[in-house]
Chains A and B, each alone.
Chain A
Amino acid sequence: MRISFNWLSEFVELSEAPADVGERLTEAGLTLDALEKEGDDTILDLDITSNRGDCLSHLGVAREVAAVYGRSVRMPETAVTPPAGTGNVSVSIEDSSRCRRYTARIIEGVQVAPSPGWMAERLASLGVRPINNIADVTNYVLLELGQPLHAFDLDLLDSRRIVVRQAETGESIETLDEIDRPLDPSMLTIADGRQPVALAGIMGGRASEISSGTRNVLVESAWFDPLTVRQTSHLLNLSTEASYRFERGTDVEMVALASDRATRLILDLAGGTVSGPLVDVYPGKAAQGTIELRRERILRYLGVQIPDREVTSILESLRFVVASTASGWQVTAPSYRHDISREEDLLEEVARQYGYERFP
């Protein structure tokens, strides 16, 4: 994953040189593959292991940097002006296990145009081709927060309806890459009142693409099941920045925030007004489980005695919620850490933040 050092600095205070930050990230498990000078910016090319889908964004890497240096993370501007109008769009999810959450935001009266230079340059330096201000915002937020988004031309959707459902035999969709793709019932689609308009989590349809004439926009921000996205992506031999992230697990709690962030940027770059409240259908809300970490397990498994204070501070720096018990700790992982489900996962977190080089 290519990370802009300047962008990273917007999230976390950094006085260190890019090479030093890369070195510390390598020690924490985000291996620095290469450093590239890009104008007044430096690009860090990081090798993100497949269990750390939460690090496939500038925010995600910033969280790791913050944990390493013991600093805090600043969130980007997401304030949205109060809505005018009613929005008037309906969203329904037919398969809530494969789509735990779907949000739709309506912005009316936008002016589609090329993005300003700073946005186009930032995207280009990270390997993303600038298209227009609406599409660019969705790509920008993907790189920033790790949440893939999709923007539809609202006026090209049938009956202002969004239905998240499995594809029916015989249906097909022409995707944005101008390829007509036959669908089968194993695939999850976003449909309007009539037909599929997007392949869930992979690519939008050409029929409702944003064009220079687009006036009203529907911004999708959602959570899709990793296995479904991987299988469909594999079946269609179609892999995208979006599918890459959904396959590795996205943060269901980031969905609304990312929508707000995109809305803020679209209002800034393309004008328009927010219409109606954010439509947020969230049938798959689940409480984050707690995991026990036993003190004696640290010594027996890692072979080193780490003071309680340090264990607590390591876990808290990674934004785990920690409660002390007689034998150790009860720990709750943040919603984006899908890789943490057992005691050994916590041991690994403690070990890598403590520093592998400090082990005897």
Chain B
Amino acid sequence: MSLESLRVLGEQFDQDKLSITEPADLEEVRIRYLSRKSGRLTQALQALTRLPKEDRREFGRLGNILKQRMESELAELEASLGSVAQARRLEAEALDVTLPGFRTSLGHRHPLTLVREDMERIFIAMGYSVEDGPEVETPYYNFEALNIPEGHPARNASDTFYIGGELLLRTHTSPVQVRTMERQSPPVRIVCPGRVFRRDDLDATHSPMFHQFEGLVVDEGVTFGDLKGTLELFHREFFGEGTRTRFRPSYFPFTEPSAEVDISCIFCHQKGCRVCKQTGWIELGGSGMVNPALYGFVGYDPERYSGFAFGGGIDRYAMVKYQINDIPMLFQNDFRFLEQF
């Protein structure tokens, strides 16, 4: 060992130091030179005892200087490496904890649901039960059993979505009435809300899919007067006390007598406005006494029983109640619209 070897050790350290880019490299260099057992400088200093006495002092002094230099330089390097790594890590894990969190929107009822539930509530209070049925139907339930025979204009393929040759998407919820009558004997007192489908182009007042709400009552001695009273009460409950209901003679294959149902305009109170087109009345749906021909399909005795049926669009009721003039708005799920309800 000589002073010369210390100088070489110092130069080698300076070389190795240049290759340090990561904390792991730094640790390796530290171990190589300063490890307590196998560090090259540590071993060199341990060899001090074997030097001649007169050289020991100088060797020890220079050796300690080199040791301090190595330690301080490595410490400096470690500090700078650490801040780089930290900066890099900060960049990678950037998270501004002061940002406001994402707001969770609270769900609430769609206007169509509100209207349907309101309708159901009123009719359940009058002793009706709510019935359901398939949206994909057979022509028998959608047409034949409702007195719409083959060749009837209402069966045109241009109005109905047929699925293959055998099935169709129901064009009204009336099949539910037939299915219910098949299942149970009078008295029948039901309402059936549901989706229906017709081949209409989408515009402000038409949609290929919309919602109907129909009712059916069959029992002994049910009269046209009962039908009038029922819908008058329903409309007063639904639209407000002063609402008047008008029945206009009309024609549907499944009822006789048939009536269009209007309510007195709830916006202008029959003074004439845009909504009622100056007529004072708003058309809402159809109704009538169940055509006795229907009883033949479900095995009821038309001499013993009579009944009435009515129906209207849930969409239509919603549009009138909330003054919505564009039916597609009900189906676009635009929060700016939906949040108003």
Contact = CB atoms under 8 A, between A and B. Distances in A.
Interface string B239-283: 000000011111100001111100000000000000000000000
A356 B289 contact: no
B224 A52 contact: no
B174 interface: no
B107 interface: no
Interface string A41-57: 00000000111100000
Interface in A259-318: 299-304
Nearest to B259: A356
B299 interface: no
B127 interface: no
B70 to A, nearest CB: 100
A359 interface: yes
B248 A29 contact: yes
Contact of A300 (B221, B247, B250, B259): B221
Nearest to B226: A303
A348 B257 contact: yes
Contacts of B248: 26-27, 29, 31, 356
Interface string B290-315: 01100000000000001000000000
Given A27-B248, A49-B251, A352-B249, A360 B225 contact: yes
Interface size class of B (residues with CB under 8 A): 20 to 34
A357 B246 CA distance: 7
A303 B230 CA distance: 13
B165 interface: no
Contacts of A27: 248-249
A105 interface: no
Given A301-B224, A301-B289, A344-B292, A356 B153 contact: no
A31 B281 CA distance: 12
A334 to B, nearest CB: 18
Contact of A359 (B151, B228, B260): B228
A18 B223 CA distance: 34
Interface string A30-42: 0100000000000
A214 to B, nearest CB: 36
A302 B250 contact: no
Nearest to A248: B153
A26 B218 CA distance: 28
A230 B153 contact: yes
Contact of B256 (A29, A52, A345, A359): A345
Contacts of A230: 151, 153
A357 B262 CA distance: 12
B52 interface: no
B229 interface: yes
Contacts of B250: 29, 31, 49
A247 B153 CA distance: 10
A344 B256 contact: yes
Contact of B151 (A51, A227, A301): A227
Interface in A223-269: 227, 230-231, 234, 247
Interface string A320-360: 00000000000000000001001011011001100011011
Contact of B251 (A51, A304, A357): A51
A28 B249 contact: yes
B153 to A, nearest CB: 7
A302 B225 contact: yes
Interface of B: 151, 153, 156, 221, 223-226, 228-229, 246-251, 256-260, 289, 291-292, 306
Interface of A: 26-29, 31, 49-52, 227, 230-231, 234, 247, 299-304, 339, 342, 344-345, 347-348, 351-352, 356-357, 359-360
27 contacts: A26-B248, A27-B248, A31-B248, A49-B251, A51-B251, A227-B151, A247-B153, A300-B221, A302-B223, A302-B224, A302-B257, A303-B225, A344-B256, A344-B257, A344-B291, A345-B256, A348-B257, A348-B258, A352-B249, A356-B247, A356-B249, A356-B259, A357-B246, A357-B247, A359-B224, A359-B228, A360-B225
Q: Ordered nearest first, which 9 A-B pairs have the shortest CB separation? A: A303-B223, A29-B249, A303-B225, A49-B251, A348-B257, A352-B249, A356-B247, A51-B251, A344-B256
